[in-house]
């Protein structure tokens, strides 16, 4: 089974091959970051197989740099203008020149819609001939609806409201996350939400989404390691100070079973 070092180098090699074979944008590859990771791994490499993978990864990144140079040459030959250069040129133009460009390129389309006198007469006749409201309600089957307060126990029985205060649930989940993170201050998302049953795991993931949204914790996705990290905050932040974003995370029963088996 490949080690973590070997998996990292294999991912870099596969990414470089994808850029070369499928024609992806070579500038999407974080070459500097990958070289820094390889530099950190180099003193730890002992096996010939790991050293060979390191050479392949370095050659792949060098090929990506070459592809970036070819991309620049190609765009330059086509007189390609980068959006940043266009933006800088627009900022450099005086207001008079910008106004002249606008007047030469602006071709507005004007469309006017209006009621004809005949249409206005039809609308007026409709409202004049409409029966009073009490006559229109007459004969309809209506039921009187009584409004009032619904007991908290009844809402809990209907599944709308929990018997336990939601703030208390959030606080308990936050403290559990801090204990699980320990001195390191972080824990794998999957390790934290994994429970004995799939249903309990889904509920735990649901609580984590509120912890992140309400400023109790932060969530970081490490795409290279294919891992998600949770970090509990020392104390909850105020909602107006929290910047939230939607990060959909799929949890299927099959994936839950696989992770349970992997953990033993």
242: phi > 0 → left, psi -120 to 50 → alpha, else beta; which?
Answer: beta
35: phi > 0 → left, psi -120 to 50 → alpha, else beta; which?
Answer: alpha
* pLDDT tens-digit series, residues 164-179: 566 787 888 889 999 9
* pLDDT tens-digit series, residues 185-239: 888 888 888 888 888 888 888 888 888 888 888 888 776 666 788 898 888 765 5
Q: Is residue 160 part of a domain?
A: no
Q: Is residue 102 part of a domain?
A: no
DSSP SS3 for 105: helix
Residue 98 vs residue 78, higher pLDDT: 98
Tally of domains in the chain: 2
Q: Is residue 141 part of a domain?
A: no
Q: Is residue 97 part of a domain?
A: no
Q: Is residue 157 part of a domain?
A: no
Q: Is residue 183 part of a domain?
A: yes
Q: Among the three residues 77, 101, 133, which one is the final residue of a domain in this structure?
A: 77
Which residue range(s) make up the domain with 65? 4-77
Q: Among the three residues 26, 54, 77, which one is the final residue of a domain in this structure?
A: 77
Structure-token pair, residue 220 = 């970081």
- CA 207 – CA 216 distance, rounded (Å): 11
- Band the pLDDT of 240: cuts 50, 70, 90: low
Helix, strand and coil content of the chain, in percent to the nearest 5, comes to 60, 5, 30
CB 207 within 8 A of CB 195: no
Q: What is the number of H-type helices and E-type strands within the chain?
A: 12, 3
- CATH code, 193: 1.10.10.580
Separation of CA 90 from chain center: 32
Q: Is residue 213 part of a domain?
A: yes
Q: Is residue 70 part of a domain?
A: yes
């Amino acid at each position: 089974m490949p080690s973590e070092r070997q998996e990292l180098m294999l991912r870099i090699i596969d990414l470089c091959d994808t850029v070369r074979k499928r024609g992806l944008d070579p500038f999407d590859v974080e070459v500097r970051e990958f070289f820094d990771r390889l530099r950190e791994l180099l003193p730890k490499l002992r096996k010939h197989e790991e050293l060979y993978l390191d050479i392949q990864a370095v050659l792949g990144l060098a090929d990506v740099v070459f592809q970036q140079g070819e991309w620049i040459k190609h765009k330059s030959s086509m007189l390609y203008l980068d959006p940043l250069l266009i933006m800088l040129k627009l900022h450099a133009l005086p207001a008079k020149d910008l106004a002249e460009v606008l007047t030469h390129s602006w071709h507005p389309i004007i469309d006017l819609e209006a009621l004809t006198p005949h249409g206005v007469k039809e609308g007026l006749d409709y409202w004049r001939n409409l029966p009073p409201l009490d006559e229109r309600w007459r004969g309809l089957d209506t039921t009187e609806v009584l409004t009032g307060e619904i007991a908290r126990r009844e809402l809990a029985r209907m599944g709308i409201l929990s018997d336990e205060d939601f703030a208390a649930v959030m606080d308990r989940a936050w403290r559990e996350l801090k204990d699980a993170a320990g001195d390191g201050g972080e824990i794998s998302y999957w390790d934290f939400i994994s429970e004995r049953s799939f249903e309990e795991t889904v509920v735990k993931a649901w609580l984590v989404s509120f912890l992140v949204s309400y400023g109790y914790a932060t969530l970081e996705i490490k795409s290279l390691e294919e891992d998600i990290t949770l970090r509990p905050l020392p104390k909850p932040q105020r909602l107006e100070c929290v910047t939230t974003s939607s990060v959909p995370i799929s949890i299927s029963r099959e994936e839950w079973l696989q992770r349970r088996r992997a953990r033993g």
